């Protein structure tokens, strides 16, 4: 076992997946009831997306939380990512990003909803729009990393646990 060879447990990551090909049923009922104060839109400017994302995550740990975007900047800025913004009464409250990968796989990242806007169906509606659009682009499978907080939302959308990865790191003495 690796743990006995100077490796230590770092974190467990759970990845979830769901089919989105035309034969796969999507839970369209989650789009109802339509809330006129909620707008979900495509964002084609990487800088605008980063600004919206920074506004949303500031609700977690203040403005410094936006610094957590750094690992994602290459993905956001290189033009391959498709960004979604959710606004409630004109205020940025949610983000999600999709990347169309090889073999019809849509990878989903940066699914975030401001703490004050949770439990209103925003993540479900935003992700369902993302999945519908990915299907239109010919994607057949959606995958994402599931946090404990997001897991219930993803299950409602038909995602299933696909793989759990325990990351281990070597301890240096």
Q: Judging by DSSP bridges, how do beta strands 38-43 and 91-101 pair with one another?
A: unpaired
Average pLDDT over residues 58-85: 66
Average pLDDT over residues 17-31: 93
Mean pLDDT of the chain: 82
Q: What is the predicted pLDDT for the residue at 40?
A: 93
Name, in order, each residue with C-beta under 8 angstroms of 93's C-beta and a sequence gap of 6 or more: 56, 86, 87, 113, 114, 116, 117, 122
CB-CB contact of 73 with 14 (8 Å):
no
Q: What is the predicted pLDDT for the residue at 110?
A: 85
Q: 86-130: per-residue pLDDT in tens?
A: 999 999 999 999 989 888 999 998 898 999 999 999 999 999 999
Average pLDDT over residues 52-80: 64
| 32 vs 13, more confident | 32
DSSP string, 42-96: EE--HHHHHHHHHHHHHHHH-GGGGGGGGGGHHHHHTS-EEEEEEEETTEEEEEE
Give bridge partners of residue 97 from the DSSP assignment.
83, 109
Per 3-state DSSP, the chain is made up of helix, strand and coil in percentages (nearest 5) of 40, 35, 25
Q: What is the predicted pLDDT for the residue at 60?
A: 67
- Cα–Cα dist 164/112, whole Å: 21
Q: Name the pLDDT band for 149 (thresholds 50, 70, 90).
A: confident
Name, in order, each residue with C-beta under 8 angstroms of 148's C-beta and a sequence gap of 6 or more: none
Taken in order of first residue, the domains within the chain and their CATH numbers are 2-170 (3.40.630.30)
> pTM for the complete prediction?
0.82
Q: What is the predicted pLDDT for the residue at 21?
A: 94
- Cα–Cα dist 152/3, whole Å: 31
């Amino acid at each position: 076992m690796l743990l006995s060879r100077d490796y230590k447990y770092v974190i467990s990551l759970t990845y979830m997946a769901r089919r989105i090909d035309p034969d796969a049923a999507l839970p369209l009922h989650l789009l109802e009831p339509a809330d006129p104060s909620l707008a979900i839109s495509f964002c084609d400017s990487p800088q605008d997306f980063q600004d919206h994302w920074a506004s949303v995550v500031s609700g977690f740990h203040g403005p410094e939380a936006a610094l957590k975007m750094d690992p994602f900047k290459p993905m956001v800025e290189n033009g391959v990512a498709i960004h979604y913004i959710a606004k409630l009464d004109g205020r940025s409250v949610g983000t999600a990003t999709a990347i169309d990968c090889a073999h019809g796989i849509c990878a989903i990242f940066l699914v975030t909803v401001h703490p004050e806007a949770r439990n209103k169906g925003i993540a479900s509606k935003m992700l369902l729009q993302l999945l519908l659009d990915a299907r239109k682009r010919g994607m057949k499978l959606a995958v994402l990393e599931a946090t404990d907080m997001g897991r219930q939302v993803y299950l409602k959308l038909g995602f299933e646990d696909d793989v759990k990865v325990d990351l281990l790191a070597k301890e240096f003495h």
